[in-house]
């Protein structure tokens, strides 16, 4: 009988996960062993006859459950990036077990008693800042998750958590099913008028793959986006728009409306049970923003800047459309990308077709590595002997400026049926110091970019370029982590601080010096001309009011669901309320974005979606500092950012880390200036 790969030390390079050896039947036995081992670790802490100390209680708890972490990191990474019906079934079985295990720990009275005993004497312990933060977080992990509840309350909390974990998984599966099941076949070439060759070529390849003649368009971003931008056929644009924005909203087996109602109600009940007024009050207590009222005011204030700009921009877009044959009174949502692309081309003589030849995926990847090297001195060396879960995944060793090994980096860049849409960063192994050894992290970036075709390599849109830089910024937060405790390391920071490193990296996509490092024509090798760089920079704020309003709309809907007692209103009623403030396009029956809003219903952003805008305030302010200090060639800002933000993770309060980096608190003026919302 072959050994379960999870149950033996990994013999792969850097002890990376042996994806090539792990089989579906390995997960549950290893998971059950991990749960048993974790419980045993906790029993040893609880039954320790010695009085509770920071080491024998707090650090011991931090170090518990290693095997469990080993199994779940692989399982949940693959469930997002390479899932199958069998894997989904395993995750469904595992989730309640993990939820119960988590509750067994946080609701363990004896364990909490020991933690509280250490916490109560914190003033006399003389802990370093990172250890003091671990103690505070450990105490709050318990006190904020039911440790002070009576037996009946604890039982109810367990039931809620179990149900929420299952609903969240179901929500994600439904969105994936809807995304994968829909295909729009086109057989008449006339219906492809306006589409560039790359989009037609990709659609032909998709149809062929599905055994059909003609062209196939899907709801995956590299197929959906170009169709909405370029296709002259308005009816087909509408058809695809309705399919994309109707995901999870068809009253069938994949419908998410009921799941949303249940989750919102359960989150509210859970918050009440724990002594909080709403789910948002519970979540935001531990955020950089600090309170629901502060977040609501922040979003409302940004709307006052964004909406007037958006109204002006929509009027300009409508006038342009009417001058080019549009005959209706108002533009619909499925007209927006189409006419925006044409207006952008006219205003700036710039479109994705002009830019894409300069953004071959391999060059952009090399570019982000070069930018990281110039800023932080790190280097990337591709390896072919690290096991991967799909042959398309690339792997790299990452070295520091002194040649010391820093991390393993995995890059997974193309859509597949088993991969959820969007882009994200994860780790398969976190960073920590254990037994005197600095255990280095294994970091994954997962994206869904335009695939190569028979005649062209993968050429990215500018939006895809910024996405790659964004996710790589999260990756740097993981790769450069340098803390003692894994639970405080890397991206384990408050939700409204986690987007700072990613959004800072995006800024380099608009920087002439950085662009010239990697934007080279895939056929001629010509470096992107200055004139094109100027057009990219000039167009950076193109329709920024509308773009800002769109992001604020998502944040406001999130707060509407989670910042008050559930109203019982339908998904459409909730969105209508918010749309009266934050959407300028006519409401369309039969569509809603909430049922596919995975960030807040299948991810960790509930009552936290505002953090993208919050982090924009931080990143614009931070990037001004990089530029003040001389950009890529001056290490002052980069050294400070690495030392005070990227290496520190969640080891100190975010505002303190930001002030150490910047020398002061952030100002929103930089973000408003950058967006063209103020002068």
Question: Which residues are identified as catalytic?
Answer: 471
Q: Pairing between strand 437-439 and 432-434?
A: antiparallel
Nearest to 37 by CA among 67, 72, 75: 67
Dihedral sign of CA atoms 595, 601, 607, 611 in order: negative
Using the structure block, give the residue that is written with the tokens 């934050």: 582
Using the structure block, give the residue that is written with the tokens 């924009």: 616
Angle formed at CA 398 by CA 397 and CA 403, multiple of 5 degrees = 110
Nearest to 346 by CA among 321, 312, 314, 315: 321
Residues 6+ apart with CB under 8 A from 130: 483, 484, 485, 488, 651, 652
CB 241 within 8 A of CB 228: yes
**Distances, alpha carbon 302 to alpha carbons 156, 244, 258, 583, in Å:** 39, 28, 31, 14
β-bridge partners, 530: none
**Distances, alpha carbon 166 to alpha carbons 85, 98, 291, 324, 602, in Å:** 15, 11, 28, 50, 10
Q: How far apart are CA 518 and CA 207, in angstroms?
A: 33
β-bridge partners, 409: 396, 443
**Distances, alpha carbon 413 to alpha carbons 189, 229, 390, 407, 647, in Å:** 30, 22, 11, 19, 26
**Distances, alpha carbon 102 to alpha carbons 325, 345, 422, 540, in Å:** 60, 53, 28, 45
Length of the chain: 679
Phi and psi of 225, rounded to 5°? -60, -55
User: Tokens representing 424?
Assistant: 């994200």
Q: How far apart are CA 530 and CA 522, in angstroms?
A: 17
Q: How far apart are CA 618 and CA 351, in angstroms?
A: 29
User: Tokens representing 197?
Assistant: 């060759």
Q: Which helix (H) or strand (E) holds 207?
A: helix 197-209
Using the structure block, give the residue that is written with the tokens 């010391």: 404
CB 469 within 8 A of CB 505: yes
- 3-state secondary structure labels for all residues of 275-344: CCCCHHHHHHCCCCCCCHHHHHHHHHHHHHHHHHHHHHHHHHHHHHHHHCCCCCCCCCHHHHHHHHHHHH
| DSSP labels, 582-593 | H--SPP-TT--S
User: Tokens representing 566?
Assistant: 């559930």
Q: How far apart are CA 583 and CA 36, in angstroms?
A: 51
Q: Give the residue ranges of DSSP H helices in 65-196.
A: 66-81, 85-106, 109-120, 129-143, 151-181
């Amino acid at each position: 009988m072959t050994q379960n790969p999870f149950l033996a030390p990994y013999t792969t390079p850097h002890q990376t996960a042996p994806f090539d050896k792990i089989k579906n039947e390995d997960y549950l036995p290893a998971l059950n062993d991990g749960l048993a081992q974790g419980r045993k670790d906790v029993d040893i802490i609880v039954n320790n006859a010695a009085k509770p100390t920071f080491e024998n209680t707090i650090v011991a708890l931090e170090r518990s459950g290693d095997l469990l972490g080993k199994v779940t990191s692989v399982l949940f990474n693959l469930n997002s990036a390479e899932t199958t019906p069998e894997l989904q079934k395993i995750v469904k079985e595992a989730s309640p077990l993990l939820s119960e295990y988590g509750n067994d720990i946080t609701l363990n009275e004896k364990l909490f008693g020991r933690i509280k005993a250490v916490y109560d004497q914190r003033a006399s312990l003389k802990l370093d800042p990172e250890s003091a933060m671990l103690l505070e977080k450990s105490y709050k992990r318990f006190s904020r998750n039911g440790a002070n509840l009576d037996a009946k309350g604890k039982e109810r909390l367990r039931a809620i958590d179990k149900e929420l974990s299952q609903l969240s998984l179901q929500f994600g599966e439904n969105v994936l099913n809807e995304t994968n099941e829909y295909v729009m076949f086109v057989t008449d070439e006339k219906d492809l008028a306006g589409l560039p060759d790359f989009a037609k070529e990709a659609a032909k390849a998709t149809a062929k793959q599905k055994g059909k003649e003609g062209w196939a368009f899907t709801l995956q971003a590299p197929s959906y986006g170009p169709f909405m931008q370029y296709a002259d056929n308005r009816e087909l644009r509408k058809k695809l728009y309705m399919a994309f924005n109707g995901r999870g909203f068809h009253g069938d087996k994949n419908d998410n409306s009921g799941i949303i109602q249940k989750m919102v109600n359960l989150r509210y009940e859970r918050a009440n049970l724990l002594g909080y007024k709403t789910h948002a009050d519970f979540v935001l207590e531990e955020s950089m923003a600090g309170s629901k009222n502060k977040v609501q005011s922040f979003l409302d204030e940004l709307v006052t800047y964004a909406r007037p700009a958006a109204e002006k921009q929509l009027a300009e877009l409508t006038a342009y459309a009417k001058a080019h044959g549009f005959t209706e009174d108002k533009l619909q949502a499925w007209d927006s990308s189409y006419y925006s692309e044409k207006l952008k081309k006219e205003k700036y003589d710039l479109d994705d077709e002009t830019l894409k030849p300069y953004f071959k995926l391999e060059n952009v990847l090399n570019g982000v590595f070069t930018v990281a090297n110039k800023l932080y001195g790190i280097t990337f060396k591709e390896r072919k002997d690290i096991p991967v879960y799909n042959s398309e995944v690339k792997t790299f060793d990452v070295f520091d400026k002194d040649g010391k090994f820093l991390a393993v980096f995995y890059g997974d860049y193309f859509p597949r049926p088993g991969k959820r849409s969007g882009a994200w960063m994860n780790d398969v192994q976190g960073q920590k110091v254990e037994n005197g050894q600095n255990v280095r992290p294994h970091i994954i970036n997962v994206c869904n970019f335009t695939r190569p075709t028979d005649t062209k390599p993968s050429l990215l849109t500018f939006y895809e370029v910024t996405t790659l830089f964004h996710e790589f910024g999260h990756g740097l937060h993981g790769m450069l982590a340098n803390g003692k405790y894994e639970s405080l390391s890397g991206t384990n920071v408050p939700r409204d601080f986690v987007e700072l490193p990613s959004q800072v990296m995006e800024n380099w996509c608009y920087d002439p010096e950085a662009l010239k490092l990697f934007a080279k024509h895939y056929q001629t090798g010509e470096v992107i001309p200055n004139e094109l760089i100027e057009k990219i920079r000039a167009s950076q704020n193109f329709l920024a009011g509308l773009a800002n309003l769109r992001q604020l709309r998502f944040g406001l809907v999130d707060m509407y669901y989670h910042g008050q007692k559930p109203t019982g209103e339908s998904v459409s009623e909730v969105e209508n309320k918010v749309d009266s403030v934050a959407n300028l396009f006519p409401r369309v029956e039969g569509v809603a974005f909430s049922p596919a809003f995975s960030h807040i219903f299948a991810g960790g952003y509930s009552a936290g979606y505002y953090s993208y805008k919050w982090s924009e305030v931080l990143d614009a302010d931070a990037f001004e500092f990089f530029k003040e200090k001389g950009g890529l060639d001056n290490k002052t800002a980069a050294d400070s950012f690495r030392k005070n933000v990227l290496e520190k993770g969640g080891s100190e309060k975010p505002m303190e880390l930001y002030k150490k980096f910047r020398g002061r608190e952030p100002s929103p003026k930089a973000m408003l200036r950058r967006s063209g919302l103020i002068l």
